[in-house]
Structure 1
């Protein structure tokens, strides 16, 4: 069953076309990854879904609703959480304050407490650092905080933009294990990642995007064994 459908979407930055009529489908319960080089349009795809950039033509359907060009904060109410590239935590706020910002739309204190405990189950270090300012944490800890903040929303769709960027290999392994666990708990994942091997290894399906166009698609194993993908992204 399709949770997210992107139909012939074109997106521009001024006069520069970033997306050139892409089609992407994410089914409920899947991990789907977008791979491609820098500037290919991966981050723009996520921003188009979340409402951070305007779609010029085409449409985006989420859970049966048209969401093209809806304000980003309205899309969060639908259950779409976006962890942007570079983490974008609030550096001057504490870990606890950052996490509570993720639950801005939740009024029920019991639900907030339950979600905090869920975040601490995945990221126990955050529980140890509740009063620490986010900006003083390591890159890996900030990535955990960014993901934890997104989980406080209680999302059905979690969009992750380069979660492994700049992290030590051991932290990368931990992050990908957590992504798999979140998916097993029922969260649908749309993953943008330059670490193509890791991404395709855990993905149900993947899309290769080049210069704003989808060039290849298939299940994770098919794309890992594809000669073009191996030469461009796995060498």
Structure 2
């Protein structure tokens, strides 16, 4: 049984069909990259998994049907979503943002332990603990967004365009951290326009176009696929 399985998922924004029968799987312990151009439906796929839009078809997470459940249940089931644009709370401090990630926890000792785990991955956040999120750099905000998601101790991390708007050296750091988290057992579904970098760290990849899955293969094979190279890696 796959950790995450979508079968024939359709989603609409008004009369516009954004997802047209999407089928994909993510196995436990994998990094799976979902690549495609703007408007392909990548972000919509993540929103569908989290219950943020109405869908038809099946979305199963660890055997539980998610498509009929409210969005907060996705978080409680162990799905953490880091949305495009980071969406931190700009007026809250780093500490307060991280505490928001542990909204379902009441045990202060556990929250502190999780925060220390986040600091192990992102030492800079410890240095910025009392700084408000909105005054941080784009890279620091991305670290905070991922750190907030990790406070949930999720079973899967959904990352939407983590490299967007960041300097190349910061992008490299973020992707290194994603790999490190995966080596520690975190399952990752990565949506990314930087197809080359996304496929370099992934086990498998899906190529999406106008709401449909165009192809699926091992990441190393997609990197040398001529169609993929011409469309997304040139």
What TM bracket, shorter-length normalisation?
over 0.9
2:141 pairs with 1:142: yes
- 2-structure distance, mates of 1:154, 1:187: 9
> What residue in structure 1 maps to residue 46 of structure 2?
46
> What residue in structure 2 maps to residue 203 of structure 1?
202
2:153 pairs with 1:154: yes
| TM-score normalised over the length of structure 1 | 0.98
| TM-score normalised over the length of structure 2 | 0.99
Shift of 1:201: 0.5
Shift of 1:74: 1.2
> What residue in structure 1 maps to residue 37 of structure 2?
37
> What residue in structure 2 maps to residue 27 of structure 1?
27
Map 1:1-235 onto structure 2 (within 5 A).
Answer: 1-55=1-55, 57-235=56-234
Query: 1:3-37, CA deviations, whole angstroms, 9 ceiling, x for partnerless residues?
Result: 00000000000000000001010001100010000
- 2-structure distance, mates of 1:205, 1:222: 9
Partner SS for 2:3: strand
Partner SS for 2:32: strand
- 2-structure distance, mates of 1:131, 1:113: 15
Shift of 1:138: 0.5
* Runs of 5+ consecutive residues of structure 1 not aligned to the other structure: none
- 2-structure distance, mates of 1:76, 1:69: 14
The total of aligned residue pairs comes to 234
Shift of 1:69: 3.5
Query: 1:183-228, CA deviations, whole angstroms, 9 ceiling, x for partnerless residues?
Result: 1111100000001011000101000000000001101101000001
- 2-structure distance, mates of 1:156, 1:2: 12
- 2-structure distance, mates of 1:35, 1:183: 19
* Runs of 5+ consecutive residues of structure 2 not aligned to the other structure: none
Partner SS for 1:37: coil
